[in-house]
Structure 1
Amino acid sequence: MKENIQKPMLQTKERDYWFDNAKAFLIIFVVLAHLSEDLIVYTDFSTGDPLWLNTLYKSIYVFHMPVFLIVSGRFAKKRIDNNDWISVINKLVVPYIVLQTVMMFFYSFTGYASVSRFSYFSPLFGVWYIITIAVYQLITPHLKKLKGLFVIALIVAIVVQFGEAVPFGGFMRLFTHYPFFLLGYYTSGRDLKFCKKPWFRVLSVLAFIALFVSVWMLPEYFKVGALTLKRVYSGLTGYFYDLTQAEFLAFTLIHYLVGFAFFFFTLGISPTKKTFFSYIGTQSTYIYMLHLFFIIFSRSLAQRFDFLDIFNSDIKAAMYVFAGIPLAFLLASPPVRKAMRWLVAPKFDLKKLVKKITED
C-alpha cells in the first residue's frame, strides 16, 4: 500500500503593494514636477507664475528624488550583498548608454539643445538618475566594509558642496545623493511597521500639508537650484541665495533631514493593499525614462513656437500639469512597454557576450 505523501506546497512571495503604491506616488510626483517646470520656465503668465504652481513645483523638489534614491537603495540590497556587478551592467549601465545615445539624437532632432559636446560622462536631462544608481550599486559592495559609512558619506556630501564644481556636472549628485541611497540600503532589512500605525499616518499627512504651506508662505527660502543638490555653494550665492557659509550649512543639513523624513512620511500616506494605481509603481522605470522624451519635445516646441504660452491661465496650467497623471498610466500600459522595451530594458547579457568572445 502506497503512502499518501503530500508534497509541500511552494510558497510564493506575496507582492509588497505598500512599496508599489509609494513608488506610484513618487513617479507621479516626478512627472508633475517636470510639467510644472515646463510652465514656470516657458510660459508667459501675464500676472506672474501662479503661486499654486510654484508651490507644487518647489514642494515636490524638496523630497521626490531623495525619497526615490532611498527606495532604490532599499531594493538594491540583494544585488549589493551578492556583489552582482554583472546585473548592474546588464540592467543599468547598458540602458544608460542606450538612453543617453537616443536622447542625444532626440535633442538634435527636436532642436532642443546642441549636442556638440556630447559625452557619456555628462548625463543629459534626467538620465543622471540611471547612471547614479548604477555607480552606487557597483561601489557599495566594497564601501560597506567601512565602519560608519553612512556618516562618512553624509560628511562628504556636505563638504563637496563647499568646494569647486565637480567636472562633468551631472556627476555632482553622485556625492550629494549617496546618503539617501545608503539610508535605503541600511533600512532594507527592517519592516518599518511603525509607518503603518494610525498615528504615524496622521503625522505623515500633516507633514505633507506643513511642507506645502511652508513653501506657499515662504517661497523665497525654497530655491530649486539648491534643492537639486547639484550646485556648489559658490555657484549659489548671489544668484540663488545670499547666505553665509554657516547659513548654507544649516540649510543643507535641514534639507537632508527633510529628505530622510519624507521617505517615512511617503510610506505613511501609501496604502498597504493593492490599488488601481499599484501597477504604476511596478513600472516606474518605464514612466521615468519615457516621460523625459515628452518633456524635451514639449520644451522644444516652446522654444521654437512658444507652444506653452497657450497654458497661461490657472485652469489651463492645471490641465497641462495634471495631465501628467493619465500620461503616467499611458506610459506604463502594456502596448507602450512592448514598443519601448528595446530602450528601457534592452536585452543584453554580459556573461554570454564574454563567453562568445572567449570561445571565438
Structure 2
Amino acid sequence: MAKRDAYFDNMKVLLIALVVVGHLIEPLSSSEAYRPLYLLIYSFHIPLFVLISGYFCKEITSSDYRIKVVGSLIVPYLIFETLYSLFDYFVIGAQALRFSYFTPYWLMWFIFSMIIWKMLLPYAVKIRWALPISFVIAILAGYAVDAEYYASISRTIVFFPFFLAGYYLDKKHIDALRTLPMKIASAAVLGAAVLVMINYGSGIRPEWFYGSLPYAALDQPYWTAGLYRIAAYGASVLIGGAVMILITGRPLPYISVLGRNTLYAYLLHGFLVKGLIATGFYETYGESAWTWLLIPFGVLLAAGLSSEWMRVRFAWLLEPNLDRLFKKQNRDGRAEARR
C-alpha cells in the first residue's frame, strides 16, 4: 500500500469540515451574521475539493481505472441517490416518491459529476491546450439558458477545469510555493478575503460560486456576464491557493487519519442536515445566538463521520465488494469470468 501524504489528508479533513459547516449554516446564509462566512467557504472549498480529486486520478492508463469508477462512485451514487429519495419522502415528507438519477439530489451532484470527470479525463488529456479550452467552455456554458441541474451539466462543466488542473498538478509545485514569504502573502490574501466578505458580502450572490445556474438566472443576461464567472474563478484560485500554501504537511494526531474516510462524512451528513431542516430547527432557533454552535458541531460531525469507527460499520454500503461483478483480467489483458 502506498504511503499516504499527510498534506493531502489534512487538506481533505479541512475541506470536508467546511462542506458540513457550509451545509449546516446554509439555511441561515442570508442573515448578516452568517453571510460572510458562508460566502468565504463557498468561494473556494468546492474548487479545491475538485482540484484534490483530480490530483488523485493520475493512473488513468491502468487496466482497472474504469472498474474503480464503477465500484467507488457509480454504485455508491445509485445507492445514496436512492436512499436520499426515500429519506426525502418518508422522513422529510415530500409529496411524491421520486427517484431522479439524472437530476442528482442536492449534495449528490458532486458524485455524479465526479463520475463524468473521471470517465472524460483519459480523453480530455489527449487534447492540446485542454486546460485553457475547458475554462473557455465553462465561461461560454453560462450563456446557455438550459445548462442547469439536469445531469448536473452546469456544475460538471464549470468545475471540470479544476479537476483537470488537479490532474496536471505536481506536489513539487505546491512545495515550491510553501515558503515563508508566500505563507505571509497567503495569510494576507485570506485576511483581505474576510474583509471583502464582511464589507461587501451583501452585494455578492453565492450562486456565482455554485456553478449551477446560467447567467440569465443570475440576473445577468448580458454578454459581459462571463466576466462574473471569471471573477469567481479568480477568487477561487486566490483564496484556494492561499489555503493550499498555509495547510500543514505534518501528520496531525487524530486528525490526519480522518482524511482517508471523508467520503463517508460527505455522503452521510446530509441526512442529519435535512433532518434538522425538517424538524423546524432553523425556524425556531434561527435568530438565536445558539446557532453559532452549529460551526463546532459541524466540525465534530465531519470528524465523527470520517472516523475509522464509521468506516468499519458502513464500508458495506459505501465500499461494497464487487469482485464477483467483474471478469478477472489475465496477464495478457483478456478477461475471464470470476468463479
CA deviation digits over 1:137-187, x for unaligned, max 9?
111101211101111111111111011223616332111111110110111
Residue number among 109, 126, 133 corresponding to 1:152 in the alignment: 133
Letter in 2 for 1:330: G
Q: Distance in 1 between matches of 2:142 and 2:102?
A: 20
Residue number among 238, 245, 266 corresponding to 1:268 in the alignment: 245
Is contact 1:21–1:271 with CA below 8 Å preserved after alignment?
Answer: yes
Is contact 1:19–1:267 with CA below 8 Å preserved after alignment?
Answer: no
Corresponding residue for residue 196 of structure 1 = 178
Structure-to-structure mapping, 1:244-259, within 5 angstroms: 244-246=222-224, 248-259=225-236
In structure 2, runs of 5+ residues without a counterpart are none
Is contact 1:112–1:299 with CA below 8 Å preserved after alignment?
Answer: no
Q: Distance in 1 between matches of 2:94 and 2:139?
A: 31
Residue 107 of structure 2: SS of its match in structure 1?
coil
CA deviation digits over 1:324-352, x for unaligned, max 9?
01111211223322222233222223424
**Are 2:90 and 1:113 aligned?**
no
Residue number among 46, 62, 67 corresponding to 2:43 in the alignment: 62
Corresponding residue for residue 14 of structure 2 = 25
Corresponding residue for residue 270 of structure 2 = 292
Is contact 2:9–2:257 with CA below 8 Å preserved after alignment?
Answer: yes
Corresponding residue for residue 23 of structure 2 = 34
Corresponding residue for residue 261 of structure 2 = 283
CA RMSD of aligned residues (A): 2.5
Cα 1:230/1:353, change in 2 over 3 Å:
farther
Moved more, 311-320 or 216-225: 311-320
Q: Distance in 1 between matches of 2:288 and 2:195?
A: 19
Q: Distance in 2 between matches of 1:294 and 1:56?
A: 21
Residue 250 of structure 2: SS of its match in structure 1?
coil
Shift of 1:356: 11
Letter in 1 for 2:326: K
Is contact 2:139–2:158 with CA below 8 Å preserved after alignment?
Answer: yes
Residue 61 of structure 1: SS of its match in structure 2?
helix
Q: Identity of paired residues, percent?
A: 25
Q: Distance in 2 between matches of 1:114 and 1:69?
A: 34
Letter in 1 for 2:8: F
CA deviation digits over 1:82-108, x for unaligned, max 9?
361111111111111111111111111
Structure-to-structure mapping, 1:169-180, within 5 angstroms: 170-180=152-162
Letter in 1 for 2:312: K
**Are 2:112 and 1:131 aligned?**
yes
Is contact 2:92–2:274 with CA below 8 Å preserved after alignment?
Answer: no
Say which one has the larger Rg.
1
Q: Distance in 1 between matches of 2:171 and 2:294?
A: 40
Residue number among 62, 75, 91 corresponding to 1:82 in the alignment: 62
Is contact 2:183–2:245 with CA below 8 Å preserved after alignment?
Answer: yes
Q: Distance in 2 between matches of 1:268 and 1:22?
A: 11
Structure-to-structure mapping, 1:215-226, within 5 angstroms: 215-226=197-208
Q: Distance in 1 between matches of 2:47 and 2:93?
A: 28
Cα 1:267/1:292, change in 2 over 3 Å:
same
Cα 1:359/1:331, change in 2 over 3 Å:
closer
CA deviation digits over 1:240-274, x for unaligned, max 9?
xx67431x222111111222333322221211101
Residue number among 160, 163, 171 corresponding to 1:181 in the alignment: 163
Which structure carries more relative contact order (alpha carbon 8 Å, separation 6+)? 1
Corresponding residue for residue 230 of structure 1 = 212
Shift of 1:65: 0.3
Letter in 1 for 2:66: W
Cα 1:359/1:35, change in 2 over 3 Å:
closer
Is contact 1:36–1:57 with CA below 8 Å preserved after alignment?
Answer: yes
Q: Distance in 1 between matches of 2:237 and 2:311?
A: 32
**Are 2:308 and 1:334 aligned?**
yes
Shift of 1:314: 5.4
Cα 1:175/1:250, change in 2 over 3 Å:
same
Cα 1:140/1:114, change in 2 over 3 Å:
farther
Residue 33 of structure 2: SS of its match in structure 1?
helix
In structure 1, runs of 5+ residues without a counterpart are 1-11, 42-48
TM-score normalized by the length of structure 1: 0.85
Is contact 1:31–1:291 with CA below 8 Å preserved after alignment?
Answer: yes
Letter in 2 for 1:183: A
Cα 1:197/1:223, change in 2 over 3 Å:
same
Is contact 1:162–1:233 with CA below 8 Å preserved after alignment?
Answer: yes
